[in-house]
Amino acid sequence: MRRTVTHFGTYDVRVEGGRPVALDPVADDGAPNGLADGMLDVREGPLRITSPMVRRGWLERGPGPADGARGSEPFVAVSWDRALELVATELARVRRTHGDEAVYGGSYGWGSPGRFHHAQSQVHRFLTMGGGYTASVNSYSAGAMEVVLPHVIGGDSWSFAERGVQWPEIVEHGELVVSFGGTAAKNAFANAGGVARHRQPAWQRGARAAGVQFVTVSPLRGDADPALEADWIAPRPGTDVALMLGLAHELLRTRRHDEDFLTRCCVGWEPFERYLLGRDDGVAKSAAWAASVCGIAPMTVVELAERIAGSRTTINVTWSLQRMQHGEQAHWMGVVLAAMSGSLGRPGGGYAGGLGISLMGVRPRRHRIASLPQGTNPVGPALPVARIADALLGPGTPYDYDGSRRTYPDLRLVYWAGGNPFHHHQDLHRLVRAWQRPDTVIAHEAYWNPLARFSDIVLPIATTLERDDLAAGMMDLTITAMSRVAEPPAGVRTDYDVFSALASRLGFGETFTEGRTADAWVRELYDRTVANLAEDGVPLPSYDDFRALGSVETPEPAPDERWSFARLREDPASYPLPTPSGRIEITSATIASFGYPDCGGHPRWYEPAEWLGGSAAERFPLALVSNQPSRRLHSQLDHAAHSRAGKVAGREPVLLHPADAAARGIAAGDVVRIHNERGACLAGAVLTADVRPGVVVLATGAWFDPETPGVTGSLDRHGNPNVLTADRGASSLSQGPSPGTTLVEVTPYDGVPPGVRCFDPPEIATD
């Protein structure tokens, strides 16, 4: 059997005449999607990179700040031998001249699944063994909640995934799920590390069938599966914390808050209560106040509070709500609202941090699946991942992060493998300028995407389809053997081959490979997994049997009682949470002690820099939602058939309310220009009453296609929302990304719009 795994599904590969011709979703995938369509075509398409490439100016003049040349000059094809020599020499030079800290290997991104051929693990192992590097910490996914939640409920940064309410208990005991940010079906397509079968829709519909009621709070009606028959509340984007405060105030006003739980199992209720009642600032966070901030009817707040108080309720807060300025507050306040509601620590209710995403909502796997050891990086501290442009632009500048004061390192060499900063970062023109600063940018890429184009040395990399591996997705219980379905095109190597060759040139080849081929490593990781699971009493077949079987299922782990809210409710003295107080920190003395003006000791409404109720809306009256794309994984496969079939007028579709479109003379299918003071992009108009008026939705992932890269305000021809988003840390606490805090204006595009150029390969000069 030939099976492969992507982050968005598992496929049996149909082979005809010795060639792979189709990827068929595995038969038991309950909800397959089209995201893989075209994967085979692009594998050998015109955008595939099949030779190492060096930017001409870098080749001629050597390393140094690029002053606009990076991203605009042609490339020169060179031999592998030459490319590896250039990379090894440059790495050694930078380490020698500027120290190991000058090498940035934060290299954020999803890459592709596979426990061994996992680009992040590969690059981190390579750079660690070479002497160390500046790494990154936290994610673009959950940057703010990862930092604040450990202060509030304790545990490591991702323990919320395991400790939130799960679908099976909602089915059994739940009555109401209030989802801030919805539970968009498309967001369950993808799961880090792979997904054996899609089950999220079945869980959600199962809950509905069991009588559970749903409320979706989102500017976009489509964020809930229609089968859930959810009530739709559409506040202004970025105002959910105000809504939660209004609900909390209403619970307090009507004396339906769970005083017993708040007293026994939480700390810091009193200062928060004073804030709710407006004792110090004179502003009661009442239903009427919340309604005016959110732009909804006061009765909506009152009625929702009543339903929350009267039902076993899950307060579900999705991750987009913290990808915003002050993003910490939404999840902190979600926990507090759940604590007040009477449902936290009772079966089928409480707080959930992102039910609906990926496989969120079942007890995650705790089986210890082996991965490539990365060693201990001697260089620190790591850079908060979304502060990359700040670091490149301001070496030596101080910044705050979670109670510590640090300075940005002087980064001279950027090494990227398995992510796309020209997809994920905000304010891309600013990133382009920052990106000119280092001496050298090296990337491993399979395709001529924006990252490859903005690099000095591009090493052409094999894709998932060209490697044997094993996959075990986050929270998934299946371990799958991934099969190479085709040889890499001539001139293409795997990340592992490249790092092995570089390590050998740099004198640590044997340490890096431990004498193993890639296939031997895959077998080794499987055998280590067998040993780990044997300790837990879970038998697994031999490696050869595993490969013949294609997949093995592991049993569901027993519920983890550690740090459980149910136990906390039962007996807080015997089952303390891993917080300083052992209880839920409605007020955190630790965070308060940092003295941050943008993140105080308890949850609060902070007015964002850009929102529909603020003064910036006079110039840019529309709120931009840049959510996850339904036809891609981020920027991956934007050049493949399925994503391209979703374009409108050749551009990324933008959803507009018909009233907003009419006011601007925009018709369905028109090319429009979306702009603000940071940038502008073109997009294809789609009109729908399923968005709140005043909101436009442009999904992420259209390949960046700038007319003039690096020039503020210059046009992206294709529709990448990150030319518009702001590059501000969520707050001094987390420094997380904040694309959700962005205002824009949309106008019809007059004249003939420029053609999209990002799907044409770049100019290649002769050596």
Ligand X SMILES: Nc1nc2c(c(=O)[nH]1)N[C@H]1C(S)=C(S)[C@@H](COP(=O)(O)OP(=O)(O)OC[C@H]3O[C@@H](n4cnc5c(=O)[nH]c(N)nc54)[C@H](O)[C@@H]3O)O[C@H]1N2
Write out the E strands in 37-141: 53-55, 75-77, 103-104, 136-137
Contact 208, 229 (CB under 8 A): yes
Confirm or reject binding of residue 111 to ligand X (CB under 6 A).
yes
Distance of CA 751 to the CA centre of its chain: 37
Confirm or reject binding of residue 120 to Mo ion (CB under 5 A).
no
Confirm or reject binding of residue 237 to ligand X (CB under 6 A).
yes
**Other CB atoms closer than 10 Å to residue 415's CB: what's the count?**
25
Pairing of strands 653-656, 695-698: antiparallel
What's the distance, Cα to Cα, between the start and end of the chain in Å? 44
> Which residue number, 424 or 651, has a Cβ lying nearer to Mo ion?
424
Single out the segment in contact with ligand X by CB under 6 A; choices: 80-88, 96-104, 201-209, 217-225.
217-225
Confirm or reject binding of residue 138 to Mo ion (CB under 5 A).
no
Smallest distance from Mo ion to CB 141, Å: 3
Single out the segment in contact with Mo ion by CB under 5 A; choices: 134-142, 450-458, 477-485, 740-748.
134-142
Would you please indicate which residues are annotated as catalytic (active-site) residues?
Answer: 108, 110
Confirm or reject binding of residue 725 to ligand X (CB under 6 A).
yes
3-state secondary structure at position 567: helix
Q: Which H or E run includes 272?
A: helix 269-277
Smallest distance from ligand X to CB 181, Å: 4
DSSP-assigned beta bridge partners for residue 622: 744
DSSP 510: H
Contact 651, 683 (CB under 8 A): yes
Confirm or reject binding of residue 218 to ligand X (CB under 6 A).
yes
Smallest distance from Mo ion to CB 67, Å: 32
What, of ligand X, Mo ion, none, does residue 637 touch, CB below 5 to 8 Å by kind? none
Which residues contact residue 758 at a Cβ distance below 8 angstroms, ignoring those fewer than 6 apart?
Answer: 449, 450, 703, 704, 705, 717, 718
Angstrom CA distances, 487 to 76, 500, 730, stand at 25, 19, 44
> Which residue number, 101 or 390, has a Cβ lying nearer to ligand X?
390
What, of ligand X, Mo ion, none, does residue 458 touch, CB below 5 to 8 Å by kind? none
Confirm or reject binding of residue 296 to ligand X (CB under 6 A).
no
Confirm or reject binding of residue 738 to ligand X (CB under 6 A).
no
62-94 burial, b if ≥16 CB within 10 A, otherwise e? ebeebeebbbbbebbbbebeebbebbbebbebb
Tell which one of 174, 349, 719, 739 touches ligand X (CB under 6 A).
Answer: 739
Which residues contact residue 511 at a Cβ distance below 8 angstroms, ignoring those fewer than 6 apart?
Answer: 129, 503
> Which residue number, 189 or 332, has a Cβ lying nearer to ligand X?
189
DSSP 757: -
What, of ligand X, Mo ion, none, does residue 753 touch, CB below 5 to 8 Å by kind? none
Q: For ligand X, what does the binding mask look like between residues 630 and 669, x meaning CB under 6 A? A: x--xxxx---------------------------------
Confirm or reject binding of residue 417 to ligand X (CB under 6 A).
yes
Tell which one of 359, 625, 648, 649 touches ligand X (CB under 6 A).
Answer: 625
What, of ligand X, Mo ion, none, does residue 134 touch, CB below 5 to 8 Å by kind? none
> Which residue number, 176 or 357, has a Cβ lying nearer to Mo ion?
357
Contact 688, 660 (CB under 8 A): no
What, of ligand X, Mo ion, none, does residue 418 touch, CB below 5 to 8 Å by kind? ligand X
Smallest distance from ligand X to CB 405, Å: 27
> Which residue number, 246 or 572, has a Cβ lying nearer to ligand X?
246
Q: Encoding tokens for residue 366?
A: 């705790």
DSSP 221: G
Q: For ligand X, what does the binding mask look like between residues 432 and 471, x meaning CB under 6 A? A: ------------xxxx-x-x---------x----------
Confirm or reject binding of residue 629 to ligand X (CB under 6 A).
yes
**Vertex 7 angle, CA 5 and 10, to 5°:** 30
> Which residue number, 223 or 400, has a Cβ lying nearer to ligand X?
223
> Which residue number, 11 or 108, has a Cβ lying nearer to ligand X?
108
> What is the rounded distance in angstroms from the CA atom of residue 492 to the CA atom of residue 614?
52
DSSP 425: S
Question: 371: burial class by Cβ within 10 Å (0-12, 13-18, 19+)?
Answer: middle
| CA dihedral over 156, 161, 631, 706, signed as positive or negative | negative
Smallest distance from ligand X to CB 694, Å: 12
Confirm or reject binding of residue 734 to ligand X (CB under 6 A).
no
Residue with tokens 């009267």: 310
Confirm or reject binding of residue 300 to ligand X (CB under 6 A).
no
Smallest distance from Mo ion to CB 167, Å: 21
> Which residue number, 341 or 358, has a Cβ lying nearer to Mo ion?
358
Q: For Mo ion, what does the binding mask look like between residues 141 and 170, x meaning CB under 5 A? A: x-----------------------------
Q: Where are the alpha helices (DSSP H) in 153-268?
A: 160-163, 167-173, 200-209, 240-253, 259-265
> Which residue number, 7 or 429, has a Cβ lying nearer to Mo ion?
7
Q: Where are the alpha helices (DSSP H) in 618-727?
A: 641-645, 658-663
Smallest distance from ligand X to CB 498, Å: 9
**Cis before residue 381, ω within 30 degrees of 0?**
yes
Confirm or reject binding of residue 379 to ligand X (CB under 6 A).
no
Which of the residues 175 through 194 are near ligand X (CB under 6 A)? Answer: 180-182, 184, 186-187, 189-190
**Residue 209: HSE in the Cβ half-sphere, 13 Å Cα cutoff:** 8
Comparing CA positions, the residue from 351, 347, 312 lying closest to residue 330 is 351
> Which residue number, 447 or 563, has a Cβ lying nearer to ligand X?
447
Angstrom CA distances, 511 to 337, 339, 375, 376, stand at 51, 51, 11, 14
Which residues bind to Mo ion, rule: CB under 5 A? 141
Which residues bind to ligand X, rule: CB under 6 A? 108-112, 117, 119, 140-141, 180-182, 184, 186-187, 189-190, 217-220, 223, 237-238, 240, 318-321, 323, 357-358, 417-420, 423-424, 444-447, 449, 451, 461, 495, 625-630, 633-636, 700, 721-722, 725, 739-740
